[in-house]
Structure 1
Amino acid sequence: MERVRDIENKERGFVDMTERLPKDYFDLAGGTSTGGLAALMMFRLGMNASQAIEQYKNLASKVFAPTIAGYEIHKLPLGYSLGNLWLWIKRLIKGASFSANRLESAIDTVLQLPELGLFRGTGSDLLCDPAKPSGMMLMCATVAEKGETVLFRSYELPADSRPQSETARKIRHDQITLKQACRATSAAPTYLPEMWIGDIGFWDGGLLNNNPVDQVWDARYDLPDARTAVDATTGAVTYIEPTVTCVVSIGTSYFPQLMEKAAPGEGRGGVGSLISTAIRAAAFATNTEAKHWDFMGNNIRRNARLPDAEQHTRYFRYNAHASKQIDLDDYQAIGSLVKDTETYLDRFDRNLNADGKPMAAAELDMHINECARQLAKTTLEENTTAATAAATAATIAVLPEPIARA
């Protein structure tokens, strides 16, 4: 958003250093787990990116710090080793290393921030609250019993987007609270307890949609300009295909060596081969880059079939290379991720890709500056209508996936 601001200032000829709000530039956003929380903060609660980053750091340290009687073990000598041992014991006894209460308390703390203004409240507030108009966002969760994806939305559930299973149909989407949605999207098995809403159990949305780009893309039909039109005389229904000008997908980094470690061994059989196969299968199951390649290829085919260039969708994907493998609950590694991301952005400025090699033509098309130009509102007229959905086109954001899932 800083680059968007810089472009706007340059094009308009005057300086406005106000930090831009993502909800004013994207018509729809969605995410899973980490990305779901980010979507909530920036689109439902109206935070800017800096505020969301700061609050996520605070939330992660409160939720993932191992504690005994409320005291953080990491603060003790040898605290990291003792803390990991304690988490392992809790996982064996309780089935989850961390407390849902700490997450709920952290959510309440975030919601009490004075700077939220109109959106200040508690975790018991409704996710979809007509009294608090917000940006359109969704969070992915998994119905544990059926293995079905459910999307918790900050806007009214469209009539033609009802869940398919009998279990999921029982969900009262208009009654889902902020706390319930946050718990459901982030309930990673063995890390956080399963979230129960009524008699329905939910797990982390990342079990099915670690990279939820397809779910967010399909939700373009939820946009106001894509709603059905009904002929008053005949009752005939017309479905409107929305034009999406820009899709931005952001990852939380990936560790390339993880896939290399997962490469098949030369031999067959034996314990070593079994372990190698298990590691490889796990790496592929959680590989968010695979969804990226699929979506990019499908988007190229889609655009090629649309003769009008104004109907084309620009797709941008940003996912830094991690310098080391990071565990899902290692909140202390955020500093390392920040450095890796800064390196990634510095390479962009030198027209280098994530591997440090000169960008090919296709990579230049996805340059972060090109993305900022697509989003920037370079006239005063555009700026005054920034918070409204575009009349003929929309922009979509897919926010960071769960950390450390390749």
Structure 2
Amino acid sequence: MPAPNLPQKGLNILCIDGGGVRGLSALIILDEIMTRMRHSSEHGISANPYEYFDVIAGTGTGAIQACMLGRLRMSTKSAIECYASLANNVFSQKNWLGRTFFKISKLRESLRKIIQHETGDPDEPMMERLSDENRCKTMVFAIPSEASLASIPVIFGSYPGIINAGPDCTIWQTLCATIAHPDLSGPFEIGDPPLQWSFVEAGFGCNNPLHHVLTEVARLYPGRHISSVLSIGTGKADTIQFLGPTGLLRHFLPTKAVAATKKIAMDAERVGQEAEVKFSRTDGIYFRFNVDQMQSVEIDQWERLNQVAECARSYMMLAEVSQRIDKAIQAIQARRLAIPTVGIDGQLQITKTEWPAAIYYRDPTPDYTGREAEISKVEMCICGSDYERKICVIHGAGGTGKTQLGLKLLRSNSQ
């Protein structure tokens, strides 16, 4: 809990889409943001995402990045190096059809090495060992393999008290679950039968998990305000290619798989457009960056990381994009109380109307006099201490002046 008497600052939220090889573009953009933030500070101090964002979230390859930046507290440059290493050591294998595949066992060992280097324990749990309300929270998503595409994803978080949470497990197990692909690697299983969990990446249903992130933020931070929401995509649907003009892949990849992958990208853009509408009346809060210059890079061409990086840098050189980056930095650094978390998840709120209290009464008769002793007793009864309930009963036979006494009392104490 924040210290008493200290004003709370606005929350900063970072959400990263999944996107295969294109996911590197998200890290390149984020590295540019951190570099500009470091240069804008008076002393040129370090700028790492976990120091500026209260929540870092992602799905698919975006989940790997979110854990690197949030749970492992890595710098953007270190995350880029590790991401490139995973691409070379794990995701660059191809079968005789030219189709990418990867082994979960190889992914596990590569992740464990990274985690051991950062924490000293290759089996470091996903949940933080020490609870700290002010520490950056990490949340990533996966979907039970037997569930439908419309299912609500399971949350793996670095903090306790999650609703619809995944099993308690290590960081590497979490990341294997969030990136498991039904065709490229098969589902990833956690636990032992009959209580075993089986997961595939949440890209099949929420490749852009922003809606689920905001829902969790509203639950985690009731009564707080948001300063910025930074959403980073991994390529627009109309620029994504899945089949090369030549080669065997275009002959053997099922049409349904192509359509499903296209739908994933379009779904991410749909969520992004819905967020644009949600924040349209609140300028300077929601920022989405999504490179649209990667037409020739297929989603599984991990050997083309350099081209992805070049496309991301070219995208950021556009005047409009560069200006939006500067505005995003201002919102992140300002931590202003821009919008409340109440309703940020889209839930309707019932507004309570407080009607002003009023007492309506008529004046006593003009010739009413006397009864000072009775009026004084009633005043002592109802106008005494503010810490106890008052009850006063005026009783008597009809026509003895009870009503006139009450009206006189109200007139005398109308203030």
Q: TM-score band, normalised by the shorter chain?
A: 0.5 to 0.7
Check if 1:177 corresponds to 2:170.
Answer: yes
What is the CA-CA distance between 1:281 and the residue it aligns to? 6.9
Q: Against the structure 1 CA distance between its residues 7 and 327, is the aligned structure 2 distance closer, same or farther, given a 3 Å change threshold?
A: closer
State the partner residue of 2:66: 39
State the partner residue of 1:85: 96
CA deviations over 1:247-301 (Å, ceiling 9, x no partner): 0001122363459x9xxxxxxxxxxxxx999966752343121211011112226
Check if 1:218 corresponds to 2:215.
Answer: yes
Q: Against the structure 1 CA distance between its residues 162 and 189, is the aligned structure 2 distance closer, same or farther, given a 3 Å change threshold?
A: closer
State the partner residue of 2:371: none
CA deviations over 1:45-85 (Å, ceiling 9, x no partner): 0101111111111012111132xxxxxxxxxxxxxxxx441
* Contact 1:37/1:182 (<8 A) preserved: yes
State the partner residue of 2:82: 55
Q: CA RMSD in A?
A: 3.3
- Say which SS state the counterpart of residue 208 (structure 2) adopts: coil
What is the CA-CA distance between 1:372 and the residue it aligns to? 1.1
Select which of 263, 269, 274 maps to 1:289: 269
* Contact 2:285/2:338 (<8 A) preserved: no
State the partner residue of 1:370: 327
Q: Against the structure 1 CA distance between its residues 24 and 254, is the aligned structure 2 distance closer, same or farther, given a 3 Å change threshold?
A: same
CA distance in 1, matches of 2:240, 2:39: 42
What is the CA-CA distance between 1:203 and the residue it aligns to? 0.6
CA distance in 2, matches of 1:392, 1:211: 22
State the partner residue of 1:351: 320
AA partner of residue 209 (structure 1):
C
Count the aligned residue pairs.
290
More helix by share: 1
State the partner residue of 1:318: 289
* Contact 2:131/2:159 (<8 A) preserved: no
Structure 2, unmatched stretches of 5+, are 1-30, 244-253, 342-415
CA deviations over 1:311-359 (Å, ceiling 9, x no partner): x771000011133343333211111110101110111xx3369xxxxxx
TM-score by structure 1 length? 0.63
Q: Percent identity?
A: 22
CA distance in 1, matches of 2:139, 2:106: 23
Check if 1:253 corresponds to 2:255.
Answer: no
Q: Against the structure 1 CA distance between its residues 372 and 352, is the aligned structure 2 distance closer, same or farther, given a 3 Å change threshold?
A: closer
CA distance in 1, matches of 2:92, 2:337: 43
State the partner residue of 2:113: 109
State the partner residue of 1:298: 278
* Contact 1:7/1:372 (<8 A) preserved: yes
Select which of 14, 21, 43 maps to 1:15: 43
CA distance in 2, matches of 1:258, 1:5: 29
* Contact 1:4/1:376 (<8 A) preserved: no
* Contact 1:99/1:193 (<8 A) preserved: no
TM-score by structure 2 length? 0.62
- Say which SS state the counterpart of residue 64 (structure 1) adopts: coil
Q: Against the structure 1 CA distance between its residues 84 and 254, is the aligned structure 2 distance closer, same or farther, given a 3 Å change threshold?
A: farther
What is the CA-CA distance between 1:182 and the residue it aligns to? 0.4
Q: Against the structure 1 CA distance between its residues 278 and 45, is the aligned structure 2 distance closer, same or farther, given a 3 Å change threshold?
A: closer
State the partner residue of 1:264: none
CA distance in 1, matches of 2:315, 2:88: 25
Check if 1:202 corresponds to 2:202.
Answer: no
AA partner of residue 327 (structure 2):
E
CA distance in 1, matches of 2:178, 2:197: 14
- Say which SS state the counterpart of residue 286 (structure 1) adopts: helix
Q: Against the structure 1 CA distance between its residues 222 and 130, is the aligned structure 2 distance closer, same or farther, given a 3 Å change threshold?
A: farther
- Bigger-Rg structure (1/2): 2
* Contact 2:205/2:264 (<8 A) preserved: no
